[in-house]
Amino acid sequence: MSKTAFVFPGQGAQAVGMGKDVYDAYDHSKAIIEQADEALGFKLSEIIFEGPEEALKQTANTQPALLAVSIALLEALEGRGFKADYVAGHSLGEYSALVAAGALSFQDAIRTVRARGLFMEQAVPNGQGAMAAVLGAERDALAALCASVTSEGMAVELANVNCPGQIVISGTAAGVQAIVERGKEAGAKRVIPLDVSGPFHSSLMRPAAEKLGETLTSVELRDASIPVVANVTAREVTSASDIRGLLVEQVYSPVLWEDSVRYLIEQGVDTFVEIGSGTVLAGLIKKIDKNVRIISVNSISALDALQLN
């Protein structure tokens, strides 16, 4: 029996103008973007559709912007009768997955990710943290090298385990620089510093996680109607209390994306539908298992071409 997972991208997938065609074409999708403006009390839609890019790249804007566009596309998709057996999202994308699973209302999600973005930006002073993409290294070897560098007083950790041969590290600027210089010790072919505003998904984000935990105490979370595969565990979760705890942990824990995709495939998922801006997740999933079907729904034309049978 063929199974389908809806998957949602995270930070890095944003582009000025994303979602404009679906906003113009579908009343339900337009209503989602308008709800985002209303929930936040400013015109997020103008930043999404017109930029400037610098404003869209600010974490506190990027996170609600990507969520809004993913859910606007999801509305159009579900309006055509498409359904998922599982959902998952990459980092911020987990919030889109929770909205899709009915665990979180869209307006609560928008306000929460806006706060999450602000907390993440504030957690570490600018320039003190960094991230880098490590290409070609084995996970265990890279984890051991990070532990060695951390023991020398320069904290650095695995942040995103994306696919074979692509792992993102995060930590202090000195720790990340040490991996840039010593990556070959873990078998890395290249280490590429990333243009990000903080050391996301590292223990340096614990202050942001604490603030998010406080924010989530006043947010209504419901049990998920579709299993959500969580970043922290790479296993499915449906209970509201478990989801709440995992969202807090997720801020300072690695995103186990490769493990999550493999888990979904083990459950019988053979079709992945990426819903949101860009095609980042399609690229990663292809490197994890080239035999599964991957469809990116990021425009009206992609929606029109979609056939899951």
Q: Residues of CATH 3.40.366.10 domain(s) within the chain? A: 3-123+204-305
Q: What span, in angstroms and rounded, lies between the C-alpha atoms of 61 and 113?
A: 9
Q: How many CB atoms are located within 10 Å of the residue 32 CB?
A: 26
Q: What is the pLDDT of residues 201-244, one digit of tens each?
A: 999 999 999 999 999 999 999 999 999 999 999 999 999 999 99
The pLDDT confidence band at residue 42, using thresholds 50, 70 and 90, is: very high
Q: Taking a C-beta distance cutoff of 8 angstroms, is the pair 292, 24 a contact?
A: no
pLDDT given for residue 1 in this prediction: 80
User: Average model confidence (pLDDT) for the chain?
Assistant: 96
If you average pLDDT over residues 242-254, what whole number do you get? 98
Cβ-based neighbours of 148, under 8 Å, separated by 6 or more: none
What pLDDT score was predicted for residue 26? 94
pLDDT digits (tens, 9 = 90+) for 146-165: 999 999 999 999 999 999 99
* Strands of the 190-193 sheet, one edge to the other: 156-163, 166-172, 129-135, 190-193
Q: Which CATH class is domain 3-123+204-305?
A: alpha beta
The dihedral formed by the CA atoms of 268, 272, 273 and 276, expressed in degrees to the nearest 10: 130
pLDDT reported for residue 309: 61
| Residue 82: band (very low, low, confident or very high) from pLDDT cuts 50, 70, 90 | very high
The proportion of the chain whose per-residue pLDDT surpasses 70, expressed as a percent, equals: 100
The residue length of the chain stands at 309
The superfamily (CATH) of domain 129-196 is: Malonyl-CoA ACP transacylase, ACP-binding (3.30.70.250)
- What pLDDT, on a 0 to 100 scale, did the predictor assign at position 194? 94
Range(s) of the chain covered by CATH 3.30.70.250: 129-196
Are 4 and 269 within 8 A, CB to CB?
A: yes
Within 8 A by CB and 6+ apart from 263, the residues are 229, 234, 235, 236
In what helix (H) or strand (E) does residue 71 lie, and over which residues does it extend? helix 59-79
Average pLDDT estimate for 35-44: 97
Which residues have a catalytic role annotated?
91, 201
pLDDT number for residue 197: 80
